Structure 1
Amino acid sequence: MFHVGYTVQGVWKLLRRHGWSAQMPARRALERDDGAIEVWKREVWPQIKPPRRPGTAGYASRTRQTRG
């Protein structure tokens, strides 16, 4: 609207100047089910998480190929 750009640090400084802060919950929710969370992490998350890249040796630069 005003054609003004801000960096992340600049926005943070403006928010702090006006009394805003990072919000953190005061306590955990009463409805939280730690057992269900652990089951989800163990069973569901591995199916969702993308596979890791294979740990093959190579050259760090994408512009220069390895010799060999």
Structure 2
Amino acid sequence: MAGSDKETRSSAIAAFVILLGIGIALLVMPKVVLWVGGYSPVLAAALGTLVILSFFLIFWLRARYQRRRGDQD
């Protein structure tokens, strides 16, 4: 049971760090997108899309890693 508690705590810490990082990126994103939009509106839209999709990509990759790691144990 102690291993399960450790895994749960590790997952919670990882999720917190990921959410914190994405939260900071989302707070800074409007200023960065407006700055980049001064040069190229298409590039600004691509950057905004990339930041939003990275949120889902990170959790998708983490889930794949966890499933693969769980199969080996």
Q: Shorter chain as normaliser: what TM range?
A: under 0.3
The structure showing larger relative contact order (alpha-carbon pairs under 8 Å, at least 6 residues apart) is: 2
Give 1 or 2: higher helix fraction: 2
Whichever of the two has the greater Rg, that structure is: 1
